[in-house]
A and B are shown apart, each in its own frame.
Chain A
């Protein structure tokens, strides 16, 4: 048991665990969706780039799961693969499918949707990571400093796609606009800490929901102004993933991503 842990009250430990599960599950699912583009991205350079981002994001998820393991919550790999949908704390946005079809069959994934989701998600992650650098929980501060360096390149990448597609043909613009609507409809719980909001904020683990949301909007503002678009209005979540409310898309994702792991949980994949 670490010193940090010994000093924590039951309430504080609960708050740390809850936040870690939210951060871990977000990156894990986001990364899973990203991995489905492998071999399918618009061109070879993009295939390399988005796979690289996906790999980094999986590394971030692994680190959060490792912190949970250190807190005595179970093996990191088990936490990632074996928890049922109703225990997952990821935002609904990260569990949405990339589009119609199945990876092994005839995938008809939506690149515009992926660009918008990735840009909005990554920019929100940036706001959180910036705040986590000041967290009262030391291991989170350390993770934030390291992840931040990698995230820098991710934000740059998705922002470039976002701006270019929205400055492109009428068809591209129309696709991007409808993708923005779809993404915004799901974005409410990305800025929510769910039922543990009060605890998470009280212990100063991360800035308040409102502050993170504002930091996100401010980060988007210059891009939106340049493109002459109205800043999105964050809706109240219809389903709140932080409280274990999810779509069927999450169950399908878990079934697929844990298929190999479940074959033999003792093997080092």
Chain B
């Protein structure tokens, strides 16, 4: 019985974490991005373990606060701890299908899964799905994004950078 309650509380925490959005992309949650590594519920003590996408990301503290506030809203939550760890490392293949949809909706191409031998990669335009795009700047407005340009619909767009442990 206790185990059952714990389990359902755990699911409730996961559910509420879906309401915690990326501070800059309000169409994807931290769950969609694959940032949530672990949720532990022990009596009234709740611990959420997150993986930072990029180490120097200035949004981490905002995410920490938003996560904490969201979980504190649960009736059974008394103490909430949010911890960032970097092992296992976050990799771009942790982004869920739902996350990819959310990114596209925002005009950001999802991180490609495939890397060429020389390290280059390809994504399609998130607006018109054209494959006729060029890389403008591998470093975008935030650490995790690159800037590209679609030659079909003549629109600049961003893509989430692929990162993997083979790099």
* Cβ contact within 8 Å between B139 and A49: yes
**Judging by beta carbons under 8 Å apart, are B164 and A56 in contact?**
no
Interface string of B24-58 (1 = CB under 8 A from A): 00000000000000000000000000000011111
- Give 1 or 0 for each of A139-155: 1 = CB within 8 Å of chain B CB: 00011011111111100
List, in ascending order, chain B residues with CB within 8 A of A53's CB: 139
Number of interface residues of B (CB under 8 A): 25
Knowing A48-B139, A149-B89, A152-B119 touch, does A55 contact B58 (C-beta < 8 A)? Answer: yes
Cα distance A57–B56 in the bound complex, in angstroms: 7
Q: Does B112 belong to the interface (CB within 8 Å)?
A: no
B138 touches A55 (CB 8 A): no
Contact A147 B119 (CB under 8 A): no
Of A60, A147, A153, A157, most B-chain CB atoms within 10 Å: A153
Q: Which residues of the partner chain A approach B58 to less than 8 Å between Cβ atoms?
A: 55
- B interface, over-half SS: loop
Tell whether A45 is near chain B: CB-to-CB under 8 Å.
yes
Let me know if A59 is at the binding interface, CB within 8 A: yes
Q: Tell me if A58 is interfacial: C-beta within 8 Å of chain B.
A: yes
B161 and A63 contacting across the interface, CB-CB below 8 Å: no
* Interface contact B138-A58, CB-CB below 8 Å: no
Point out the residues of chain B lying under 8 angstroms from A145, CB to CB: 87, 89, 165
- Set of chain B residues within 8 Å of A148, measured between Cβ atoms: 165, 167
Closest to A154 in B: B139
Chain A positions within 8 Å of B91 at CB level: 149
Determine how close the nearest CB of chain A comes to the CB of B2; give it in whole angstroms. 30
* Residues on the B chain within 8 Å of A59, using CB: 54-57
> With a CB–CB cut-off of 8 A, which chain A residues contact B70?
none
* Neighbouring A residues of B161 by C-beta, 8 Å: 153
Interface digits, B50-74 against A, CB 8 Å rule (1 contact, 0 not)?
Answer: 0000111110000000000000000
Most B CB contacts (10 A, CB to CB) among A57, A143, A146 go to A146
Known: A147-B55, A149-B89. A52 touches B139 (CB 8 A): yes
User: A156: CB under 8 A from chain B?
Assistant: yes
* Interface presence of A112 (CB below 8 A): no
Chain B 82-102 residues near chain A, CB threshold 8 A: 86-87, 89-91
Total contacting residues, chain A, CB less than 8 A: 28
Q: Which residues of B contact A50 (CB under 8 A)?
A: 139
Interface residues of A in 83-133 (CB under 8 A from B): none
**CB-nearest residue of chain A to B55:** A59
A62 on the B face (CB < 8 A): yes
The answer to whether A55 and B143 have CB atoms under 8 Å apart is: yes
Query: A63 near B55 (CB under 8 angstroms)?
Result: yes
Looking at the assembled complex, report how far the CB atom of B134 sits from the nearest CB atom of chain A, in whole angstroms.
13
Contact check, B89 vs A146: say whether CB atoms are below 8 A apart: yes
Expressed in whole angstroms, the minimum distance between the Cβ of B121 and any Cβ of chain A is 11
Is A142 in contact with B136, judged by CB distance below 8 angstroms? no
Contact B87 A146 (CB under 8 A): yes
Q: How would residues 137 to 149 of chain B score, 1 for a CB under 8 Å from any chain A CB and 0 otherwise? A: 1111111000100
Interface check B163, CB cutoff 8 A? yes
Which residue from chain B places its CB closest to the CB of A50 in the assembled complex?
B139
19 contacts between A and B (CB under 8 A): A45-B136, A48-B139, A49-B138, A49-B139, A52-B139, A52-B143, A53-B139, A55-B57, A56-B55, A62-B55, A62-B56, A142-B87, A148-B165, A149-B89, A149-B164, A150-B55, A152-B119, A152-B163, A153-B161
Measured CB to CB, the residues of A under 8 A from B are 45, 48-53, 55-60, 62-63, 142-143, 145-153, 156-157
Q: B residues engaging A (CB < 8 A)? A: 54-58, 86-87, 89-91, 119, 136-143, 147, 161, 163-165, 167
A-B interface, 6 closest residue pairs, ranked by CB to CB distance from nearest? A59-B56, A59-B55, A49-B139, A142-B87, A152-B167, A52-B139
